[in-house]
Amino acid sequence: MCGIIARIGGNDGAVDELLTGLENLEYRGYDSAGLAVKNGSGPEVVKREGEISHLKEALADEVPDGGLGIGHTRWSTHGPPTDANAHPHTDCTGDVAIVHNGIIENYDELKSELADRGHEFTSDTDTEVVPHLVEEALDDGDDPETAFRRTIEKLSGSYAVAMITSHDHAVYATRRGSPLVLGVSDGEYFLASDVPAFLDFTDDVVYLDDGDVVVVEPDGHRITSADGERVDRAIRTVDWDPEDAGKGGYDHYMLKEIHEQPAALRQTLRGRADPATGEIHLEDFPPGTFEGVKRVQFVACGTSYHAGLVGAQFLSEGGVPAQAFLASEYATAQPPVDEETLVIGVTQSGETADTLAALRQATASGAPTLAVTNVVGSTAARECDDALFIRAGPEIGVAATKTFSSQVVSLALLGERLVRDVTGTRTDGARERLEALSELPGHVQQILDYTSARRVAAEYRDSDAYFFIGRGSVFPVALEGALKFKEISYEHAEGFAAGELKHGPLALVTPDTPVFAVFTGRNDEKTLGNVKEAEARGAPVVAIARGDADGARQYADDVLTIPDTHPDVAGVLANVQLQLLSYYAADLLDRPIDKPRNLAKSVTVE
């Protein structure tokens, strides 16, 4: 949600590198873009509603280059997408330029006070109060850093803020509840909401903590706490290549990332499981790590929540009480939490606001916490007691694909470790399951090579609605299939536990509502009964099933085939077919697949 980029270094080059950063942040979702560049005098601001291409057109004549600047992609919260509401925002004098992610909760009060003191506002945003507060502090005689600090102290809410002024040659930035990372290169520094923004220029990063204030100048950077005390943050090298964050010849990031799943899964599995012996080797979780755990709670949102549902089912079947909660509902649900409750936050970015809030609540209740995330150095990874990284590599498309597969596999391995530590025994069929996991990358590749998802998507293109059903561990896969379909095709799609179809949703089934049924080799006869109910109402049925699933083939109108594998692993393969189905359905409808309307890759407000 929104994206910040800042660059400082040399006497020119800022505009091109800021634009590259903004384009690399498009995946986060936005409806306007802008930048401010300092080229000897005050910051010169250009901003436009709409895509970055509109900003480029405006920049052709308006702004000379400089060595220092800030940029922003905005996803509207306060006020509609307009040129005036786009960032950066300035004070009355134009000497201060600010970009901001998040929400300033007390902006109404601050804006009213500033207006009473004569400040004039030109936008509907909460952000605009920030440069005006800095302006007042500068008028009081403060230097820019002190003015910045005094301003931040007055803000309530979540934010990442970056500022430049006409008074010096530096970028000032801070974060609270919204991600911000520093990129370090020879003679150049960058600040951004996410690493891919500056990955073209450097892979050396510094992850900032909440409350950190960073001052970046051409010859170095300095980080202090909210109290002004100097703090050291390590420089880390990310193992992502700029090409990893590009389309690589694919029409869309989503399709590229679907096709990256074999490689991502190999990374997830590498060194962690030995099918020959049935042993688990999680790098930071040796045998006995979880011996004191009595119950497990997963907190997550969206696709990560569906992965958490799979993880909870696996643990429950292994004898460890487990539940999955929507992170946004966790505070309301108020489940029992104590030092014997392990709370696992599943979050691709490690920055999801609702998930972070749930984890913090668990910590305050005395529970140990663990993050399952894709991003080393993310807030979740730093704040939790432990972290398990899914190793999926950068994911740019808003619709999560390879990260879901890697989350499910990571949770299967983590679940096996938990079951062994808590119960003292292996799960039934552990060796066979690990063998199936080791074969998963090759099986996914088979699906990618031979899928008929494009044909099936075309066959049912003009349907009224789309239903997805599954039982047990593939009920979450049905939910995930429906989520992918609706978020990128904009068509009505719903996921149901197969047995629930007859308890209400069957009233909606017609010949124009295809039903996609997932079969795993376990409880298939019951799912087949639900398929017959839908078929009796005239609905076409598409089975996602193994090639030898005769029952499914007999009653289905179409089949999306998955390789023969362990029932606990079949859901990952079925999900790949459903990802492809959603992609091709959206492509046929000419939807903006990588940037679906109203959605953002990283949701950093509650």
Query: What's the 3-state SS for 321-369?
Result: CEEEEEHHHHHHHCCCCCCCEEEEEEECCCCCHHHHHHHHHHHHCCCCE
Q: Are 162 and 172 in contact (CB under 8 A)?
A: yes
User: What's the token pair of residue 368?
Assistant: 């140990």
DSSP 597: T
Strands of 330-465, DSSP E: 341-347, 369-373, 386-389
Please give the backbone phi and psi of residue 51, each rounded to the nearest 5 degrees, phi first. Answer: -80, 165
- The catalytic site residues sit at 2, 601
Cβ contacts of 58-65, under 8 Å, gap ≥ 24: 59/15, 59/19, 59/35, 63/15, 63/35, 63/37, 63/39, 64/37, 64/39, 65/12, 65/13, 65/14, 65/15, 65/16, 65/37, 65/39
How buried is 138 (Cβ within 10 angstroms: 0-12 exposed, 13-18 middle, 19+ buried)? buried
Tell me the CB-side half-sphere exposure of residue 387, using CA atoms within 13 A: 19
d(CA 583, CA 457): 9
- Nearest-Å Rg of the Cα atoms of the chain is 25
Residue where the block lists tokens 């299939």: 481
- Among residues 560, 298, 295, the alpha carbon closest in space to that of 407 is found at 298
Pairing outcome for strands 541-546 and 558-562: parallel
Q: Characterize the bridge pairing of strands 213-217 and 171-176.
A: antiparallel
Strand (E) or helix (H) holding 402: helix 402-423
Q: How far apart are CA 111 and CA 136, in angstroms?
A: 13
Give me the half-sphere count of Cα atoms (radius 13 Å) on the Cβ side of residue 195: 28
The angle subtended at Cα 305 by Cα 304 and Cα 307, nearest 5°, is 65
DSSP code string of 191-210: EESSGGGGTTT--EEEEPPT
Helix ranges (H only) for 68-158 are 107-116, 129-139, 144-153
Cis before 88? omega within 30 = yes
Sheet holding 369-373, edge to edge: 322-326, 295-300, 341-347, 369-373, 386-389
Query: Is the distance from CB of 464 to CB of 510 less than 8 angstroms?
Result: yes
Pairwise CA distance, residues 414 & 213, whole Å? 36
With a CB cutoff of 8 Å and minimum separation 6, the contacts of 270 are 391
In this structure, are strands 273-274 and 279-280 parallel, antiparallel, or unpaired?
A: antiparallel
Cα distances (Å, whole numbers) of residue 276 to 269, 279, 318, 355, 525: 14, 8, 21, 37, 32
